[in-house]
Structure 1
């Protein structure tokens, strides 16, 4: 059996990141390959890196060492809980390389052995998120002539002029390129790469039966509205509170941070990945500002509204547009009537299945080429 090494963002303690990693693995295994995720751990993805970045979050923290120390003490508790939650899922469900790597140079010094190398999904080519171009995510470490391809990679924004030459040079090694958003297709086309395929996020390529099997039943007997408010949008919280009160429902808030207990409703502090899926599946309504919360709301046929975050809305806009439901996204002006409107999930499922057929054609083309290598 041939082996694919997949590099992706899997260690940043995020529900969408670990679930798309799992979905990618399941997909390649289904196609008849061994799939291993390279355990690439940047400092950015560790609690140490997160604590170092705290001072960038506000001028007050940057200028007041005492306040910064207090903030680090508060956040450390949440970071420890996050690591425990997501490490447990990765250990139980994802095939990780035995060796952990912390830099592109470490990968070059001890190259993972494989028949092919894949740049996986999530915002792996987003230079804003990665604080620059991360060479490892462009497979800079692989042997010369290795079989390289991407699957549902995301740039997340327009490529900066200062990075275009670097990125263009890195992409020359790829035999096949697929990305998640239409803007990413355009960005790579502008670099001279024409045969770029747009595909679904791996979590949407898998049907909801996969996620239903993983989801916890812990919240199944409760009637509630659930929120997942990554960007601390007060308008989102206010809307959710009004909806829950109007419908006589419990309000549950998924958050990584224990201090979010001050938000309206009841805090569900860093639930397990399985509980996260269950909370979305079993909610009466879902209100979020997250791409993957939007994706799973669609998978589970929920009534939902997605608030567009200020700096990272392209992913949500793209999938809502692709499925012809842009009205489920909002800049903040939304009523209870808006979330109550019926969603034609029969039509949406047909669209998703059509996109899955297209994605499978891309994946089979890649895999057939790999089989004859």
Structure 2
């Protein structure tokens, strides 16, 4: 089946031996007849971009809730930045850019409204009913919840894309409850490993930008972090007359470049040290091959600690977090108690999936804006329903 999708000649000729290839994909769950000869991972990327869950990311929280301003990142702009960084890394390592891009664009499809607060709330409310984890929810979105094609639910993505989605890992997201079909305990493709770090590079740096724009953190505070200060001083030396705003943007850009270069150098060293020359070698070695150097890992960790303390736990961010927890808890409890509040298509799934899981899927798919509007409709007496 893999050979039938995408002519071999359309696969890039300069891919490294350890890169994933569409022509060697383990295939799709459901057989399909295709209208063109796009390689499998390119087709997967396109399906992700056109799905409803991807569009909803435009109004899902990164750090700042959508109504707080048009400037701040959302899950959509974050996913685009992850894709840009991921592709830059993949290109320099001669990896499959289409697979990397597909994974970057899909990695947050299962995220709830109100960021990680929403994930924590739903996991608590779903205790005893299978819990909630956003990587598994991203998998549910592309495997079941999207309804676009004849003959099956989901997007019918390639095995390698599904594996990368379900094994995405970060300080906030650890794969749990892995499905046996996707080799629990075995590392995914190098392209999937890249996304873990492209995600981190993107959110660290755009959260700095958003944090500075909001006034929740300052340049003076950031200059207490070695990694930031060294890059800021380098930009200041090169452009002493540059205004502060442009200097900020140049520092963030240079910091992203510095992290990418370090990651590529360290990863190339890991590949050589482990004797990796094929994708089978990646599975055989079975350890993360994409890493920062130890020195950069420690410096980057200090930056993350700064952001956690000064931005993510800023009292104004905490206020919204507490409000979001109340909104989602009351919505969940109301829907479970009164399932007829849900659209009929969701009510019809309850016998098969269970009331709590259907409610969880419904809330997880909400944007921040829709969740706030729904809260008003249900709990404010003068709001039109």
| Structure with greater strand share of residues | 1
TM-score (norm 2): 0.31
TM-score (norm 1): 0.32
Rg larger for? 2
Report 1 or 2 for greater relative contact order, CA contacts < 8 Å, sequence distance ≥ 6.
Answer: 2
| Structure with greater helix share of residues | 2
